[in-house]
Amino acid sequence: MALVQFKDLCIDTRDPSEASRFWARVLALTAEALDDGDAVLRGSTPEHTIWVNRVPEPRTAKARVHLDVHAWSVAEMEAAGARVLPEWGSLPWTVMADPEGGEVCAFVRPEDWWTERKDPYRLYEVAVDAADAPAIAAWWADVLGTEAADEDGVSAVAPPGAPFDAFVFATVPEPKTVKNRIHWDVTGGADAVDALVRRGAHVLRAPGAVVSWTVMADPEGNEFCVFGDEALSEEP
């Protein structure tokens, strides 16, 4: 049984206006500027929502969480504002950087793939670096009420109701050193936070006067936010 459900995604950036234009184009979502200077991307369901939030700190390290996207071509990604990172060499996909320098992987699909898909939305996977991919994937599979699949050196978890194929965890040698600039939000019942703590998560910030949700970290330190079941459209 699921302890929490996927709600939406959040992207931290120094420039919400530029970031929202880029990600709206790359993911085929609609960008909306908010009164506080942040932005939000919206799609066909509430789960397609991505909050684009201004933060003061610059990007200083390789993204431990990044997005994999379906792409028409590398040139089309470059026209949107991405650039190829040649140091990644030859892979079945193209590793690129968004306008702020964060990694994004472009999986170029042939024209007939798009014709068969009949859906312009382009988020493919949420990729997460890990110290122990099978272990953290199993943790997220447990709290999301699903199962992890281990294949080709990665561990995938498909969150029920999420508008992408899976969280894909890959073991890397380097430790987590800074706050992730991409995180996800979940909804849960009244006892969800306590239950997550019992399973190995910890609270980073409790609800208060500024926010009504709980900021947490999973057992590997990946930040995520927990909302009550009634807050399906509340901004993180």
Domain assignment of residue 42, given as a range? 4-228
CA distance 212 to 93: 39
* pLDDT of amino acid 231: 46
**Could you tell me the CATH number of the domain that includes residue 140?**
3.10.180.10
- Tally of domains within the chain: 1
Beta bridge partners of 67: 104, 126
Asked, for residue 203, whether it belongs to a domain, the answer is: yes
User: pLDDT tens digits for 166-177?
Assistant: 999 999 999 999
Asked, for residue 127, whether it belongs to a domain, the answer is: yes
User: pLDDT tens digits for 212-221?
Assistant: 899 999 999 9
Asked, for residue 233, whether it belongs to a domain, the answer is: no
Asked, for residue 234, whether it belongs to a domain, the answer is: no
Q: Which of 9, 7, 5, 2 is nearest to 126 (CA)?
A: 9
* pLDDT of amino acid 230: 54
Asked, for residue 209, whether it belongs to a domain, the answer is: yes
pLDDT at 235 over 80: no
User: pLDDT tens digits for 50-76?
Assistant: 999 999 999 999 999 999 999 999 999
User: pLDDT tens digits for 90-113?
Assistant: 899 999 999 999 999 999 999 999
Average pLDDT, the chain: 94
